[in-house]
Structure 1
């Protein structure tokens, strides 16, 4: 069973150009993806400066994105992270949220996501306040589907280390207080889960009182550590059996728009093939489809260097790889060269300020 597939553009780092995003929309729509949620962390009017709203020129870009998604047969959604709205959730916060939800509705959204990921969790009545904000927004928007992402969006103890110990029964309370129609994003047993299985998803669904929508942190490669690697291999560790346990499956994309579409195309293959899925063959099929035979073979040969060795440890291989891909007139090859030149590498400071 293949669940509804989507993309949640919820990463840190460089924001794609309009051309890059259009390529991703058309490529994923053709592969069967059904929704696109826009919410990059670096888009400040959706996060750090959520109360201010977008400039007119940016609104026009987002309206075009909405139209492109819908024309391609995908639902279009936008994600807002209302930093500071829960404590206090007072008249000012309500007025600001009402205004911003109306702004997003005017852009043209089918889905609204209200996110609390990567925010402080050591706050009183956290689940109750977050549910109140989400339900408030749900009662205002013209969007027909509502999503949220909890502060503790995984079992991963790193979230407790960074954002404070999670409140007791946080998921259970959040699930009881959220409107039953609200979908909840979840990344799995880890922030970047190596494997996602039916038993884990069934347990979380029991806690929340609803199946989760997966926020799959692959092939995302943001942050100071992951941006040193290109995530290119096909999906693994997502057995087709999990389709019966989720409301949807969205991927968080890589910084590199064209290269990231290679693994993205393998997720629907994994669901369709079930037990017959072979991730090496799936990579080859997706890469040939997007890059052509010769380029695909080259990239498969260089997978260990680009995905496993990483930028700092390439050493003398950097110049060899640069010369190899600089001669290819293709956007994906230019993304490899850009990465080899260090242009897409991130720092911890960038993450902390986005």
Structure 2
């Protein structure tokens, strides 16, 4: 397989515990994924308070997880969202450089992602400023075997981005790509922020426009938005056929439920292997059986309802029945369903693109 697969922990909402993150990383490494980028929106050290130094506790956490990734054959990455950096470049850019240097030296980071997603444009030539920042970082990384990935403010054609962050400049894509070194990767979520389908034609179109193969940031099965937070996505990946070699890399943004998200994640590699829909569907059921240590048909029926219709489709009796099934399971995945029913994974209003 030519295209590499990875995890981009880039959602809003409740942060994973150490145990959840390591379990997901270990699972991914055994199922065809080769890297894990740590970039949760609610980690203040990478977004809201990105200009502050990493605390001793945070440094220890990232060092430990980096080591865990490497021990499991996974590359480790960090995604930084430098809010407001283009407003005061002279003051803020050196801070960003320092943050990146720290990530590389102290955490043995293999991938640096500079994330301008969900950040408003301050000027009409914001794309030029974003590009220059990324180019400067690229120069600083010269000679180091480190991947650099750039997520633009407009990372899809989806008009929801214009609605929330203002109308994109007509030449925004030209601003960010003109003279951008070809080794700098660009994140793209598909034609929509939540793309139900990503076709080879879609990718060839954006590859041509960006003059490089894009790296997909796949917002399936993530469930951090106002409406998608009412669902648990355990259906297999679909409508992502014949992408191998056309996509440079494919990173998946997982659900807030770190164990349940393994069900969908396990099926993406099969899409790249061009397995049939039937085979992928059967594999999904096998994963459910492994995760819950059961092939309870009623549980699968409820998982399908939560995926397709959401929690509001279950009446009080059904929720009680599902809770009873999960209480008997005594597995981490079953506990996540109980937590979901209890509102633990409630919608975070900070998620603007919902």
TM-score range, shorter chain: over 0.9
Q: Distance in 2 between matches of 1:2 and 1:19?
A: 31
Q: Distance in 2 between matches of 1:272 and 1:289?
A: 22
SS of 1:147's partner is strand
The structure with the largest helix share of the pair is: 1
Give the deviation of 1:304 after TM superposition.
Answer: 3.1
Contact 1:215–1:251 (Cα < 8 Å) also in 2 = yes
Match of 2:319 in 1: 318
Match of 1:283 in 2: 284
User: Structure 2: 5+ residue runs without aligned partners?
Assistant: none
Match of 1:245 in 2: 246
Number of residue pairs matched by the alignment: 348
CA displacement, residues 59-101 of structure 1 (integer Å, 9 cap, x when unaligned) = 11111110111111111000001111122322x1222112111
CA displacement, residues 277-298 of structure 1 (integer Å, 9 cap, x when unaligned) = 6442231132234333435x44
Q: Distance in 1 between matches of 2:14 and 2:53?
A: 20
Match of 2:225 in 1: 223
Match of 2:34 in 1: 34
Match of 1:104 in 2: 103
Contact 2:215–2:251 (Cα < 8 Å) also in 1 = yes
CA displacement, residues 123-168 of structure 1 (integer Å, 9 cap, x when unaligned) = 2312110011112222334561100101000011111111111111
Match of 1:95 in 2: 94
Q: Distance in 2 between matches of 1:276 and 1:97?
A: 45
Q: Distance in 2 between matches of 1:151 and 1:31?
A: 31
Paired residue for 2:200, among 198, 205, 223? 198
Contact 2:110–2:146 (Cα < 8 Å) also in 1 = yes
Farther-moved stretch of structure 1 (108-117 vs 140-149): 140-149
Contact 1:112–1:143 (Cα < 8 Å) also in 2 = no
TM-score, scaled to structure 1: 0.94
Relative distance call for 1:2 and 1:300 in structure 2 (3 A) is farther
Relative distance call for 1:169 and 1:124 in structure 2 (3 A) is closer
Match of 1:342 in 2: 343
Q: Distance in 2 between matches of 1:121 and 1:199?
A: 29
Relative distance call for 1:322 and 1:275 in structure 2 (3 A) is closer
Q: Distance in 2 between matches of 1:62 and 1:112?
A: 14
User: Structure 1: 5+ residue runs without aligned partners?
Assistant: none
Match of 1:148 in 2: 150
Contact 1:11–1:222 (Cα < 8 Å) also in 2 = yes
